[in-house]
Amino acid sequence: MAWNKVMPANPVVAIAGATGAVGQEFMQVLHDLDFPASEVRALASARSAGKKIEFAGCGQVPAGELTVQEMTSESFKDVDIALFSCGAGISKEMREAVVASGAVMIDNSSAFRMDADVPLVVPEVNPGDVSWHSGVIANPNCSTIQMVVALKPLYDIAPIKRVVVSTYQAASGGGAPAMEELYGQTKDFLNEDELKVEVFQHRIAFNCIPHIDVFLEDDSTKEEWKMVVETKKIMGDENIAVAATCVRVPVLRCHAESVNVEFTGEVSVEAARKAFEAFEGITLMDDCSSNIYPMPGLLAGTNDTYIGRLRKDSTVEHGLAMWIVADQIRKGAALNAVQIAQLLLP
């Protein structure tokens, strides 16, 4: 059942998980985009209740401090948009309360992404899908988001048969504790002290871990599975084959991806370049003669999806290869969610 309530021009926005890395970025993005909110509520667990958070302001909300409130089923009264950055279990627990209050939940967890009645949206790719939501819209997995942004302008030239992707995913994908572990291990490694391994399966400092999320029966990981099924849903094409290998690398917050794409028809490098240059949300950084290409260590805090190393893949009849970088906390999470919220505005 489609949502039939009218979104006000100046909605009340609640941030669930406001004290986490993505929750903090939600507030920064609301400010950066000057989202026209009439009120912003910061919600978190009971242990964070009463904490003061600096907010730069947006819309009708002035700059100042927000007092964190404990999130309960009563927290969403009079809320229009609820931006969720909590675990999947909490999102599932709060869904009924959010929707019953009349709010739209934009959820950053994996809780609802593959539900048939929940749109999975990347605004540059499938903005029209917000029209059939029934109170919940899912934010895709971070590694999927930046890939489909790059695939969309190419798909508009010729349908895609197959994608082979290897990811180089930043510590930020594991949240603030994961970033702190990378900091701490790097310091301990350089000081020749013992390294503490708590968040990741192995040492992340000066290392790469080909293991993100749990292993499945076919020995792929759930992170890799997400890229397969989410790409099909977002692109609206079940025939796209996706082979993914997801790797955690010692980078703080930008994901990088090596992507090879096979098409049903010819897509030249020149045509792809023009399509990328004309596509909103993409910045082409592709001049190998001047050593210009996107690098994750230099693009933190940016909004676009960056593409470089664009070239022909001669191993297939119609193929291209490219390198993609985007900030995992912004486009891979908070920015994409707020862009979804913008689509809901009248």
As a whole number of Å, the CA-based R_g of the chain is 20
Active-site entry in 58, 142, 246, 254: 142
Query: Are 292 and 217 contacting, i.e. CB atoms less than 8 angstroms apart?
Result: no
Question: In angstroms, rounded to a whole number, what is the distance separating the alpha carbons of residues 287 and 274?
Answer: 14
Query: Are 128 and 159 contacting, i.e. CB atoms less than 8 angstroms apart?
Result: no
Q: Per-residue b/e over 318-343, b at no fewer than 16 CB within 10 Å? A: bbbbbbbbbbbbbbbbbbbbbbbbeb
Pairing of strands 81-84, 241-248: unpaired
Question: In angstroms, rounded to a whole number, what is the distance separating the alpha carbons of residues 111 and 336?
Answer: 17
246 part of the active site: no
Active-site entry in 58, 86, 246, 255: 255
Query: Are 256 and 332 contacting, i.e. CB atoms less than 8 angstroms apart?
Result: no
202 part of the active site: no
What are the tokens at 280?
A: 């909103």
Query: Are 66 and 40 contacting, i.e. CB atoms less than 8 angstroms apart?
Result: yes
The residue type of 169 is Q
Task: Tally Cβ neighbours within 10 Å of residue 176.
Answer: 17
What are the tokens at 18?
A: 């406001």
- Residues designated as active site: 142, 255
